[in-house]
Structures are given as structure tokens and as C-alpha cells.
């Protein structure tokens, strides 16, 4: 190991958890954190449930960067952008200068995908993937606001529930024909649709937003089916893409994320990656942009960085969809997997292959309490 510090890029769950895990094994190794944000910690999943919890953006902060840095012996370089990496020289180029590293951990997340929109208010469309974005959303949401959400995936549906439940008029627009179409069996989707309709959510299926313009009463969203929807705010929630652009010139292997092996090592042996930016060979070459995989990966990486090479083994990690109108627990197989959803009993579905093996499940409403039993379906021969 050379004498240079370990450099970690990012200050989200992946970065802070990796450092805390490292410190369980090694109190000595010098660590520098480089982050474009303040470095403060917050639970990102709470961004889509904060109204129901009665919390503003400022209430969600649960760790001050300077305190976390002191507690974990980290030199913090906040508000600093990583710009490029020279793998041969083992140097990270940042907006504040050049840092030599012994090992580099890439934990700098993903950014919201945006589609080009026409209109004189297209630049007012918001996305929420960081606490700062959420503060902007809250500041712009006036009582009684009409909100159009682009995308009926996990984040779009969670915001629809949170904002609809708080009395905002919510429109959800999606090219698909039902919510969470990629994750749920059809009847589960329709139950969620009914539950959110009960909060006043208005659905616009099979279409998408073309343009957003100023109008006399707020904004006017034009859909490509010809509908005009008068709203006050547009929130785009059509997915995330790993931040790999600034790494392209380095030659590091990237696909939908930075490619990592079971040791979370990239194509360069001194560079590791985890979190929303990583694409895991040991998980069928998937990105896993969720909390549980991050905690699992950080545990393994913390040990590896302390000199105890540890492979990450991802267990089955169901995702709780935070839609209190119809809570859901989803363990969907990676697409494309051959098989079909089978209704087991009211509110419980199994994804079975041709041999009758259960490869996934969905639990809805009261059935979400059957998590432990459902996990056994997956391990049963
Ligand atoms: C609204 C919402 C709700 C969610 N709900 C759930 C849920 O219920 N359950 C669940 O499991 N998951 C949920 N997720 C996903 C989960 O929160 C994320 O997978 C996780 O927080 C990602 O952590 P990360 O550390 O990889 O990335 P991030 O938290 O995005 O952190 C990346 C950090 O890197 C910094 N950075 C980026 N680029 C650079 C650069 N070039 N130089 C320096 N710094 C840089 C950023 O400023 C940021 O601090 C949710 C996500 C969202 C957006």
C-alpha cells in the first residue's frame, strides 16, 4: 500500500457507510472525502415521504458533515467536484486541485434522467434526488398547488401518495398503461392505481409531456396525446442514470454504471465503486440503486479497504414501496426473466418460472406483514 490517502468521492449513504465500515477495522488509514455537496447526511428515502412525516427539508438532515468527519477521522473537501482521474498516476483531479491516492472509492451516485421538453417554462421542471432539490420543491409548493408528476415508477408513485395525501392536486403522466409497470403484476398495479385515485390522483396513461409553458394561472403542460393540463409545478421522476461522464476519458470500464467485480473493484485494481454509480457483476450485471445493497456493499468494501479482501454477497433484498395508500413489498426478478406472475391469495403474488420455482414476490396492503414467509418461498426447493 503506498503512503497516499484513501480518497472517497461522494458523501451519500454509500460514501459515509463505507468509511464507517472501514473504521470498524482500521482507525489509522488516512481518508479524504471529496464531495460536490456539503457532506451533511440525510435519509434520502424520506424525501418522498416527508409531507406525511410533517418534515421540511431542513428537518431531514441527520448528520452534520463536520461532526461526521471528526468522528470518522476524515478530511472533508466539501463543495468540491471530482473532474477526472488519472489511473496510471493514481491522481484525482478536482475543482480544488489534484489529489494523489493509494485507493479511490467512487460513491458519487446517479443523476435524474431528463427528457428534452419544449416551452418557455421547460427549465422550471424539477427533479428530486438530493436534499437541496427537495428544499427547492418545498419552497415552490404553495398550499393547494396543482402538481404534474412525470413517471409512475417508484419515486413518482411515492411522491404522488405523499403530495396527494397532503391535499395537493396531483396529475401523473406515464407512457405505460399502469403504475410500476416494470415491477408489479397487472392486478397489483391496478390496486395501487385505485388506492392513489382515492387521494385524488389523476392519471394520464400512454402519453408523455411535450412542453411546459407559462400561463395566466401558472403553468400549462401539453401532453403528446393533445391534452392540456393546467398546473403550478412539474416534477420529473422518470429514472436515474449513474454519473459516469467525467470518468469516460480515464478508460475505466463503464456501462450503465461503473463496472465492479465481487470485490467492488473496477477495471483498475486501485479504484472501487458502490452505490447508485456502480453496476455489479455479482448481481447479474445490474445497478442496485437501493439502501440495502449499499449497506451490504459498504460492509464488504470497508473490510477490503482495511486489508481484509471481502467479496460482496447480495441476499434477496425486497424493496418497500412507500405508498401508505397501498403499501407494497416487491422482490421482482431481474428483467428479462422468463416466467409469469401468479396470484397466490388476495394481496400476494409469486413470480414463477416454467418449472414452478418462485423467483420473486409482491405483497400488498396487510400482506406486507408476511415478509418472512415470502422470503422462504424464494429459498424453497
Ligand atoms: C426520493 C427517493 C426515495 C427513495 N426511496 C428509497 C427507499 O424507500 N428504499 C430504498 O432502498 N432506496 C430508496 N431510494 C434510493 C436510495 O436512497 C439511493 O440508492 C441511495 O441514497 C444512493 O446513495 P449513494 O450514496 O449511492 O448516492 P447519493 O446519495 O446520490 O450521493 C452521491 C454524492 O456524490 C456527490 N457527487 C456527485 N458527483 C460528484 C462529483 N463529480 N464530485 C464530487 N462529488 C460528487 C453528490 O453531491 C452526493 O453527495 C430513494 C431515492 C430517492 C431519490
**CATH number for position 89:** 3.50.50.60
- The verdict on the CB of residue 108 being under 6 Å from ligand 1 is yes
- Give a yes or no: residue 62 inside a domain: yes
β-strand pairing of 31-34 with 258-260: unpaired
Pick from 263, 266, 262, 274: nearest CA to 250:
266
Instruction: Tell me: do 135 and 34 sit in the same domain.
Output: no
Task: Report how far ligand 1's centroid is from the alpha carbon of 354 (Å).
Answer: 37
Q: Into how many domains does the chain fold?
A: 3
**Which residue do the cell numbers 489509522 mark?**
28
Nearest-CA residue for ligand 1 atom 50 is 45
Instruction: Choose the final residue of a domain: 190, 217, 236.
Output: 236
β-strand pairing of 6-9 with 31-34: parallel
CB 348 within 8 A of CB 329: no
Q: Give the domain extent around 364.
A: 327-379
Q: Give the HSE-up count for residue 251: Cα atoms under 13 Å, Cβ half-sphere.
A: 5
Nearest-CA residue for ligand 1 atom 51 is 45
- The verdict on the CB of residue 35 being under 6 Å from ligand 1 is yes
Residue 318: all three cell numbers together = 425486497
The distance of Cα 332 from the centroid of its chain, to the nearest Å, equals 16
Instruction: Tell me: do 232 and 289 sit in the same domain.
Output: no
Instruction: Choose the final residue of a domain: 218, 236, 254.
Output: 236
- The verdict on the CB of residue 257 being under 6 Å from ligand 1 is no
Closest ligand 1 atom to residue 16 Cα is 25
Instruction: Tell me: do 104 and 152 sit in the same domain.
Output: no
- Give a yes or no: residue 316 inside a domain: no
Strand extents, DSSP E, 187-227: 202-205, 209-215, 218-223
- Give a yes or no: residue 348 inside a domain: yes
- Give a yes or no: residue 161 inside a domain: yes
- The verdict on the CB of residue 45 being under 6 Å from ligand 1 is yes
Give the 3-state DSSP-derived string for 37-60, with helices as H, strands as E and coil as C.
CCCCECCHHHHHCCCCCCCCHHHH
- The verdict on the CB of residue 318 being under 6 Å from ligand 1 is no
Closest ligand 1 atom to residue 321 Cα is 8
Task: Report how far ligand 1's centroid is from the alpha carbon of 274 (Å).
Answer: 11
User: Pocket of ligand 1, candidates 47, 52, 80, 109: which has the most ligand atoms within 8 Å of its Cβ, to mutate?
Assistant: 109
Instruction: Tell me: do 167 and 273 sit in the same domain.
Output: no
Nearest-CA residue for ligand 1 atom 26 is 275
The distance of Cα 181 from the centroid of its chain, to the nearest Å, equals 18
- β-partners of residue 104 are 7, 271
Instruction: Tell me: do 231 and 255 sit in the same domain.
Output: no
- The verdict on the CB of residue 60 being under 6 Å from ligand 1 is no
Instruction: Tell me: do 154 and 231 sit in the same domain.
Output: yes
- Give a yes or no: residue 321 inside a domain: no
Instruction: Tell me: do 181 and 274 sit in the same domain.
Output: no
pLDDT of residue 336: 76
Task: Report how far ligand 1's centroid is from the alpha carbon of 83 (Å).
Answer: 19
- Give a yes or no: residue 310 inside a domain: no
Residue 164: all three cell numbers together = 396527494
Instruction: Tell me: do 100 and 123 sit in the same domain.
Output: no
- Give a yes or no: residue 319 inside a domain: no
Closest ligand 1 atom to residue 109 Cα is 27
CB 272 within 8 A of CB 104: yes
Instruction: Choose the final residue of a domain: 212, 236, 260.
Output: 236
Closest ligand 1 atom to residue 278 Cα is 26
User: Pocket of ligand 1, candidates 290, 327, 329: which has the most ligand atoms within 8 Å of its Cβ, to mutate?
Assistant: 290
Task: Report how far ligand 1's centroid is from the alpha carbon of 66 (Å).
Answer: 20
- Give a yes or no: residue 1 inside a domain: no
Q: How many CB atoms lie within 10 A of CB 282?
A: 17
- The verdict on the CB of residue 12 being under 6 Å from ligand 1 is yes
Instruction: Tell me: do 22 and 106 sit in the same domain.
Output: yes
Closest ligand 1 atom to residue 317 Cα is 11
pLDDT in tens, the chain (381 residues): 568 999 999 999 999 999 999 999 999 999 999 999 999 999 999 999 999 899 999 999 999 999 999 999 999 999 999 999 999 999 999 999 999 999 999 999 999 999 999 999 999 999 999 999 999 999 999 999 999 999 999 999 999 999 999 999 999 999 999 999 989 999 999 999 999 999 999 999 999 999 999 999 999 999 999 999 999 999 999 999 999 999 999 999 999 999 999 999 999 999 999 999 999 999 989 999 999 999 999 999 999 999 999 999 999 899 999 999 999 999 988 777 889 999 999 999 999 999 889 999 999 999 999 999 999 998 765
Instruction: Tell me: do 217 and 78 sit in the same domain.
Output: no
Instruction: Tell me: do 106 and 252 sit in the same domain.
Output: yes
CA–CA distance, 109 with 160 (Å, rounded to integer): 24
What CATH number is attached to the domain comprising 371?
3.30.390.120
Q: How many CB atoms lie within 10 A of CB 114?
A: 14
299, burial (CB in 10 Å: exposed 0-12, middle 13-18, buried 19+): middle
pLDDT of residue 334: 78
Instruction: Tell me: do 221 and 248 sit in the same domain.
Output: no
Amino acid at each position: 500500500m503506498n503512503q497516499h490517502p484513501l480518497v472517497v468521492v461522494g458523501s451519500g449513504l454509500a460514501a459515509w457507510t463505507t468509511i464507517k465500515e472501514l473504521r470498524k477495522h482500521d482507525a489509522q488509514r488516512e481518508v479524504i472525502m471529496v464531495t460536490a455537496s456539503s457532506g451533511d447526511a440525510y435519509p434520502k428515502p424520506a424525501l418522498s415521504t416527508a409531507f406525511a412525516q410533517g418534515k421540511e427539508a431542513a428537518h431531514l438532515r441527520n448528520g452534520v458533515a463536520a461532526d461526521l468527519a471528526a468522528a470518522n477521522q476524515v478530511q472533508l473537501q466539501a463543495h468540491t467536484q471530482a473532474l477526472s482521474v488519472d489511473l496510471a498516476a493514481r491522481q484525482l483531479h478536482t475543482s480544488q486541485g489534484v489529489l494523489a491516492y493509494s485507493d479511490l472509492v467512487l460513491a458519487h451516485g446517479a443523476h435524474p434522467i431528463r427528457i428534452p421538453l419544449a416551452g418557455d417554462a421547460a427549465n422550471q421542471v424539477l427533479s428530486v434526488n438530493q436534499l437541496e432539490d427537495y428544499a427547492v420543491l418545498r419552497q415552490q409548493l404553495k398550499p393547494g398547488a396543482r402538481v404534474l408528476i412525470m413517471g409512475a415508477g417508484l419515486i413518482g408513485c411515492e411522491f404522488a401518495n405523499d403530495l396527494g395525501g397532503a391535499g395537493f392536486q396531483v396529475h401523473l403522466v406515464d407512457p405505460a398503461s399502469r403504475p410500476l409497470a416494470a415491477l408489479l403484476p397487472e392486478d397489483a398495479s391496478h390496486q395501487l392505481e385505485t388506492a392513489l385515485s382515492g387521494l385524488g390522483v389523476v392519471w394520464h396513461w400512454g402519453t408523455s409531456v411535450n412542453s411546459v409553458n407559462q400561463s395566466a394561472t401558472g403553468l400549462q403542460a401539453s401532453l403528446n396525446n393533445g391534452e392540456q393540463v393546467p398546473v403550478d409545478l412539474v416534477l420529473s421522476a422518470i429514472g436515474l442514470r449513474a454519473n459516469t461522464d467525467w470518468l469516460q476519458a480515464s478508460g475505466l470500464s463503464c456501462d450503465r454504471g461503473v463496472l465492479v467485480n465481487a470485490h467492488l473493484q473496477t477495471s483498475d485494481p486501485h479504484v472501487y465503486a458502490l452505490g447508485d454509480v456502480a453496476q455489479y457483476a455479482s448481481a447479474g450485471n445490474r445497478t442496485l440503486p437501493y439502501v440495502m445493497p449499499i449497506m451490504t456493499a459498504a460492509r464488504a468494501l470497508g473490510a477490503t479497504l482495511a486489508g481484509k479482501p471481502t467479496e460482496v454477497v447480495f441476499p434477496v433484498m425486497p424493496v418497500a414501496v412507500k405508498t401508505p395508500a397501498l403499501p407494497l413489498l416487491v422482490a421482482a426478478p431481474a428483467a428479462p426473466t422468463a416466467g409469469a406472475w401468479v396470484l397466490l391469495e388476495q394481496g400476494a403474488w409469486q413470480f414463477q418460472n416454467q418449472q414452478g420455482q418462485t423467483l420473486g414476490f409482491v405483497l400488498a396492503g396487510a400482506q406486507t406483514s408476511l415478509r418472512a414467509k415470502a422470503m422462504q418461498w424464494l429459498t424453497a426447493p
